[in-house]
Structure 1
Amino acid sequence: MTSKQATVGAEDFELIRQQVRAFVRHDVVPREEEIADSDAIPDDIRRKAADMGLFGYAIPAEHGGLGLDITQDVQLALEFGYTSLSFRSMFGTNNGIAGQVLVGFGTEEQKSRWLEPIASGQVVASFALTEPEAGSDPSGLTTKAERDGDDWVITGNKRFITNAPEADLFVVFARTRPADENGTGIAVFLVPADSAGVSVGPRDKKMGQQGASTAEVVFDGVRVGHDAVVSGDVDTGFRAAMSVLARGRVHIAALAIGQAERALEESVAFASTNRQGGRPIGENQLVQAMLAEQKTLCMAGRALVTEAAAAYLSGADRRLGPSAAKLFCTESAGRVADLAVQVHGGSGYMRGVTVERIYRDIRLLRLYEGTSEIQKLIVGRQLLRDVGKGS
């Protein structure tokens, strides 16, 4: 899988970034409460995002996308993180973990069929990996795919699947056999949402990220042809999952820092205007200390994810760096959000206050696409492997 697919030069990309920044701040931010209260992204925002190419900014240009590389993706994620995280979630899987499976591992026929409508937003792609007994570690998959003549029959349950209620295409991971010396036995299938035997449960009621829909998906004897097997190889699934999740971790790290920077901005604004005892609370040294910690974590996270993206793009590091960036940036963002509530005092605990929503929204980033604990295992194991290689 390669990420060297950018077709947009630095000058043109800066124009794109500025347009995204303006859209986020002028169109989306003023409607954050509407998004939270309605638990939905307004149709006009979705249409404008599609018109701007946001459903396919990371899809190669030859397949209808903008063809941005991972370093450019990170810069946009920092902008997306400034507002409700559900906004980014609307098109995140098209560009990320679902779309990148096709970009990196799909056959030419599969790419030709699916990538252009994914890039335009006509098709919403959903990444169906997580199960009740398999989350950050996909080796525990129990969803099965059994060969029946020229077809495959898929049976199993997936949970917490982002955009499942709106999905047109499920990128489904299933086990074709127990793992053996020949491979993991995990394949990935392209399953249209209207296939017989596919059913989507009610939308999950979540702590935060209102406007982003997740749900359980049941595959009950769903029949697909062999042309639905990504790459045509039934042992591609595990490798594809690990590859796209690593790339996705860099993106999530940047998204976390974007949200942390918004929390910092809200904290500074509150500290400079809210008065206690006749003077702004920002004049108190302990409040200044909290702001300083927030700013330091934001700066460190931005530097780390920028470096991780560059190493991913060059191929120098596509394992340790993404996990280290996601671990540090999401944990740091959680700390920044917590401090933001503290700076606001009792006001920060009230619904309708921006930092209260951020506090709830940002918590999920330490869970999906690999928990913080999984990232620690990946980093630790890779360090030991590197020592072994060196000796």
Structure 2
Amino acid sequence: MAPEDILPEELLERLRSRAAGYDQENRFFHEDLQDLADAGYLKVFVPEADGGRGLGLEAVAELQRRLATAAPATALAVNMHLVWTGVAHAMSARGDDSLDFVLKDAGQGEIFAFGISEAGNDSMLFDSGTVARPLPDGSYSFTGRKIFTSLSRGWTRLGTFGKDADARNGEGELVFGFLRRDEPGHETLDDWNTLGMRASASNTTLLTDAVIPAERIFRKLPVGPNKDLLIFAIFACFETLLAAVYTGLAERAFALAVDNVKRRVSAKYGGRSFAQDPDIRWKIADAAMAMDGMLPQLSAITRDVDRMVDHGPQWFPKLVGLKSRATENARYVVDLAIRVSGGSSYFRGSELERLYRDVLAGIFHPSNDESAHNTVASAWLGPLEA
């Protein structure tokens, strides 16, 4: 199935037409989300038997690239839903059905968000400052503060985790579960007023004795790095789909740059377009070569996930390297697009101005640049000596 079958040009243009307004008003993308739901976009990972498209990660990454060319903030927020459904898909393909209920719920219209990040927790999935307290009936109550909860205004299911510090003989245990929106114990703060990616509504979520019943507690893991399939699946989907969004953003910036260069005229070159300026041509070529290097890497890694290729200990370096390269590459391409498009791109309201702000968010998503380099260095050189 071609991407344009799921995201036709008419739909893309409708999403693109709203992006500037969402950004200016710092407003959540309710209309976009409804349009995407109506198009079946939120069910792309869901098996056909459950009402979805049954696509794999490579196809969904291509779709997210396409969506990001129209509405990057919308694509970034939708990523969180697609990460959870993608994780369920990847685990099911590998014989683990513990998250099949996520795919069934998504097939029935539920929307999933990612309540994982915590201020100051640079261990990410391997530790948590959120307290997970076991209750006699097997449920857990969660108390903590989750930041960057994209889709905060639209989710119906929040995937989150916390730490039961007393478990495993005092070594601690990380407990993962899904909270329903109609259940008590959670609050979305009105604190999302950022430089870019404003429509994503990645507000802070406060959990205060939020109880998740036993049937929706789906994993308990030791504190610290481990090889559980859940961890691999989250990294695989999170990093590749982030890379796809920022690559799509860069593709749009590049297309705008090419159009602007052809349209602008130069007195220096006798009224001919800036497409005849050797310096401008060099920058366009440099941006094109940067894009050419990104697209095959994204396709290759997502295809390997789908085909269950065994990269062993090199999987995590490949995944974090892809995310880091994609977000840095996108910043570079957008910067070149601004440089060749002239001063008009510096004014508020221009699409390139918005893309310039949006692309900066890429440096904050895990794995950040420092963490990615540490992961890759450790893969080749071994861990740092104590």
TM-score range, shorter chain: 0.7 to 0.9
Once residues 362 and 340 of structure 2 are traced to their aligned partners in structure 1, the CA distance between those partners, rounded to angstroms, is: 22
Matching residue of 2:310: 316
Q: 1:379 to 1:294 in 2, by over 3 A?
A: same
TM-aligned CA distance change 1:116 to 1:226, over 3 Å: closer
Give the residue type in structure 2 aligned to 1:316.
Answer: D
User: CA-atom RMSD, angstroms?
Assistant: 2.8
| Distance in structure 1 (CA, Å) of the matches to 2:8 and 2:327 | 22
Name the SS of the counterpart of 1:45 in structure 2: helix
Q: Is 1:168–1:192's contact at 8 Å kept on the other side of the alignment?
A: yes
CA distance in 2, matches of 1:337, 1:275: 21
SS of structure 1 residue aligned to 2:182 = coil
- What do the CA deviations read for 1:50-79 (whole angstroms, capped 9, x no partner)? 122111212333433211111112221221
Q: CA deviation at 1:203?
A: 4.3
Gaps of 5+ in 2: none
**What secondary structure sits across from 1:188 in the alignment?**
strand
- Between the aligned partners of 1:341 and 1:196, the Cα distance in structure 2 is 46
The code of the aligned residue for 1:116 comes to K
Q: Assess, with a 3 A threshold, how the Cα gap between structure 1 residues 111 and 327 changes in structure 2: closer, same or farther.
A: same
Alignment of 1:283-362 (within 5 A): 283-314=276-307, 315-317=309-311, 318-362=315-359
Q: Per the alignment, do residues 47 and 251 of structure 1 end up closer, same or farther by CA in structure 2, a change over 3 Å counting?
A: same
Residue type at the aligned position of 1:80 = L
Q: Secondary structure in 2 aligned to 1:146?
A: strand
Would you say 1:31 and 2:38 are equivalent positions?
A: no
- Which residue of 2 is the match for residue 126 of structure 1? 113
- Could you report, residue by residue, the CA deviation over 1:19-72 in whole angstroms, capped at 9, with x for unpaired residues? 414245432223332332333466553333112211121233343321111111
Shift of 1:105: 5.9
TM-aligned CA deviation for residue 145 of structure 1: 0.9
2:161 to 173, 177, 190: 173
Q: For 1:207-286, what aligned pairs fall within 5 Å after superposition?
A: 207-231=195-219, 233=220, 235=222, 239=228, 240-277=230-267, 278-286=271-279
- Partner of residue 4 from structure 2, selected from 17, 26, 30: 17
Residue 48 of structure 2: aligned partner = 61
8 A contact 1:176–1:234 mirrored in 2: no
Alpha carbons of structure 1 residues 345 and 273: separation in structure 2 relative to 1, 3 Å: same
Measure the CA separation in 1 of the matches of 2:110 and 2:53.
Answer: 16
**TM-score, normalised relative to structure 2:** 0.86
Residue 4 of structure 1 is matched in structure 2 by none
1:79/1:350 CA distance change after superposition, 3 Å? same
CA contact (8 A) 1:57 1:119 kept: no
* One-letter code aligned to 1:269: D
Code of the aligned partner of 2:301: A
Q: What residue in structure 2 maps to residue 89 of structure 1?
A: 76
Corresponding residue for residue 147 of structure 1: 134
* CA distance in structure 2 between the aligned counterparts of 1:180 and 1:104, rounded to whole angstroms: 28
Tell me how far apart the structure 2 counterparts of residues 289 and 84 of structure 1 sit (CA, whole Å): 28
Displacement of 1:262 in angstroms is 1.0
CA offset digits 1:145-176 (Å, max 9, x no partner): 11121132211111111112322111111112
Task: Measure, in 1, the Cα distance between the counterparts of 2:373 and 2:182.
Answer: 39
SS of 1:68 mapped into structure 2: coil
Change (3 A) 1:168 1:279: same
Aligned length: 369
User: 2:133 touches 2:141 (CA, 8 Å); kept in 1?
Assistant: yes
Structure 1 CA distance, aligned partners of 2:282 and 2:99? Answer: 54
Q: Is residue 2:356 matched to residue 1:367?
A: no
